[in-house]
Amino acid sequence: MIVPIKQIIAKAKEKKYAVGAFNTSNLEITLAIVRAAVAEKSPVIIQSSESAIKYSNLETLFNMMTTIANTIGKSVPIAIHLDHGHDLNLVKQCINIGYNSVHMDASDKDFATNVRLSKQAVKLAHSKKIWVQAELGSILGKEGLVKLETGEINMKDLMTDPYQAEDFVARTGIDTLAISVGTIHGQFRGIEKVDQRRLKKINSLVKIPLVLHGGSGLSSKIFKEAIKNGVSVINIDTNLRVAFKKALLSQLKKESDLIDPRQILAPSTEAMQKEVVKMIRIFGSRNKA
């Protein structure tokens, strides 16, 4: 059932486990996330990115997420979050339609602009008791990885500065902070690390819950250490995409005569559900509903 996100994240921070924030863009992914949460009696955050919203449209996606959360997911706490909102207008629309939390991501802008946009989002959201996540430092994607590999950019320069983070939180009044501590969006097993010392330092200076982006591909040891060092929310997208595709290819190879999309996609939904269950167990949110 949809609940205020504060209820989910404050409990995770207090009890020292993390809640998974899983990206969705369609019915099958949403079903997988919610079915896994129900099976594990776990709270969960369902999030949609700007491009996921463009893929269908805001009303369709929002109504699908909330309907599934309030019906199939009625026994567990669920919150709906906008992931990486770069456009204040879209942030506004998500606040107005009823998202529980919005990510105002102006991390690619200069510090003053990031502060200004994050504050604006806070003003709009808090009047409706909605939480705001903002971001300091850069969390790269695949293109960024190439630049890292060629030495064009240095990961250390992109990471969140703990003292600047303390200042940023005080100036903006945000509710959760997305930090850059070494992860990259996508699944890069063996390449990604978390700068645990930096994370610990940020956590000692910043009192609001911390969000780890780019969770796919990290080992359970790294996750557990990051949670011990202060992470309360972990974003996962690519792991589910990989599970979806692998199951789809195998199903089409095995049952090449199928034409019913439901039969074609059922193993993908199951595979994503298994992946969410795996993450829930690692994050420690099982039986915390």
Q: Tell me the closest approach of the beta carbon of residue 238 to ligand G3H, in angstroms.
A: 7
Q: Quick one: DSSP state of residue 100?
A: S
Q: Tell me the closest approach of the beta carbon of residue 159 to ligand 13P, in angstroms.
A: 15
Catalytic (active site) residue 83: yes
Which of 64, 30, 74 lies closest to 244, judged by CA?
30
Among ligand G3H, ligand 13P, Zn ion, none, what does residue 114 contact (CB within 5–8 Å per kind)?
none
Q: Is 210 within 8 Å of 202 (Cβ atoms)?
A: yes
Q: Is 79 within 8 Å of 111 (Cβ atoms)?
A: no
| Sign of the C-alpha dihedral computed for residues 170, 135, 225 and 153 taken in this order | negative
Determine which one of 83, 105, 175, 195 is catalytic.
83
Residues in 190-249 at the binding interface with Zn ion, rule: CB under 5 A: 213, 235
Q: How far apart are CA 276 and CA 150, in angstroms?
A: 34
Nearer to ligand G3H, 55 or 163 (CB): 55
User: Does 23 help bind ligand G3H (rule: CB under 6 A)?
Assistant: yes
Burial (0-12, 13-18, 19+ Cβ within 10 Å), 90: middle
Neighbours of 69 (CB within 10 A): 24
Among Zn ion, ligand G3H, ligand 13P, none, what does residue 113 contact (CB within 5–8 Å per kind)?
none
Which residue's beta carbon is nearest to the bound Zn ion? 213
User: Does 202 help bind ligand G3H (rule: CB under 6 A)?
Assistant: no
Phi, psi of 173 (to 5 degrees): 75, 25
Among ligand G3H, ligand 13P, Zn ion, none, what does residue 215 contact (CB within 5–8 Å per kind)?
ligand 13P
| Sign of the C-alpha dihedral computed for residues 18, 47, 155 and 279 taken in this order | positive
User: Does 236 help bind ligand 13P (rule: CB under 6 A)?
Assistant: yes
> Under rule CB under 6 A, how many of the chain's residues touch ligand 13P?
14
Please provide the DSSP assignment of 175-237 as one string.
Answer: SEEEE-SS--SS--TTT----HHHHHHHHHH--SPEEE---TT--HHHHHHHHHTTEEEEEE-
Question: Among 8, 237, 272, 289, which residue interacts with ligand G3H (rule: CB under 6 A)?
Answer: 237
Among ligand G3H, Zn ion, ligand 13P, none, what does residue 52 contact (CB within 5–8 Å per kind)?
ligand G3H
Which of 122, 102, 232, 226 lies closest to 169, judged by CA?
122
Question: Among 84, 103, 198, 288, which residue interacts with ligand G3H (rule: CB under 6 A)?
Answer: 84
Nearer to ligand 13P, 42 or 238 (CB): 238
User: Does 215 help bind ligand 13P (rule: CB under 6 A)?
Assistant: yes
Contact positions vs ligand G3H (CB under 6 A):
23, 49, 51-52, 83-84, 185, 237
Just list the catalytic residues: 83
